[in-house]
Amino acid sequence: MGSQPRLIEVRKNVLKQNDLVARALREQFRAAGVFVVSLVSSPGSGKTMFLEKTLTLLRQHYRVAALVGDLATENDAVRLARSQAPVKQITTGTLCHLEAAMVQNALQEWDLNQLDFLFIENVGNLVCPSSYDLGENLRLVLISVTEGEDKPLKYPTIFNSADVAVVTKMDLASAVEFDWQTAYGNIQAVRPGMQVFKLSAKNGQGMDEYLSFLKKRLDESRVTATI
């Protein structure tokens, strides 16, 4: 008695389970009229400071909340709570990225109908989060001026999975001799046409333009949702 290999066709996306949950989340967000923004960056790019400012400023006119992914600590959630917006921590343990099911679990106790904006801060990592759809409307990739201009060339995949880029810590640009044109050119090389905001969450430079953009996208998403 012998064995013979036979080839059978399968054609299944490895992350289909995550994609199914992400699709369900996207539908849930649409029905509730909440605009969902996720943030990806390296550790230390100023994601939490940037989000704290975003929440504080938007909270004056909008209902906002945030989910924060972190490997082990709750430090980020504590910092973000200073904005007085509802914040929930997702501790991922050793996992280097958020998955759609974690977002779904974290949202169970929240009434999405009571929100205009929901922010999801991913784990600080420019590699792994790129593969996982979280059902968000918009994915922001952040780089800070202290990281150097070539980050986009080193991590083209994450720039390709994101919709918009934000260059943070612009208040430090001259101190670290950050070359804006080079950085902008590198972003356009890996993602032609990508919209880029340059700002400083610390001194507020560029925040107005970025917040106006978010408000416009919220309005657009609601118009589309009712058609």
Partner 1 sequence: MHELSIAMSIIELVQEESDKRGGAQVSAVHLKLGALSGVVKEALLGSFEMACEDTPLKGARLVIEDVPVLIFCRSCQAKCPISSVQLFCCAECGTPSAEVVQGKELEVVALEIEEWDHSPV
What are the residues binding partner 1 (CB under 8 A)?
A: 1-17, 95-97, 127-128, 130-131, 153, 156-158, 160-161, 188-194
Q: Least CB distance from residue 17 to partner 1, whole Å?
A: 7
| Least gap, CB of 193 to partner 1 (angstroms) | 5
Pairing outcome for strands 117-121 and 87-91: unpaired
Q: Which is nearer to partner 1, 75 or 160 (CB)?
A: 160
How far apart (Å, rounded) are the C-alpha atoms in residues 100 and 184?
31
Q: C-alpha distances in angstroms, 146 versus 21, 93, 212?
A: 36, 28, 26
Closer to partner 1 by Cβ: residue 46 or 69? 69
CB of 151 to partner 1, least distance (A): 12
The identity of residue 227, as a single letter, is I
Q: Is 122 within 8 Å of 102 (Cβ atoms)?
A: no
Closest to partner 1 by CB, 53 vs 97, is 97
**Beta carbon nearer to partner 1, 13 or 60:** 13
The nearest distance, CB 168 to partner 1, in angstroms, is 22
Residue 212 token pair: 């106006």
Torsion of CA 196, 197, 200, 204, to 10 degrees: 180
CA dist., res. 48 & res. 79, Å (int): 8
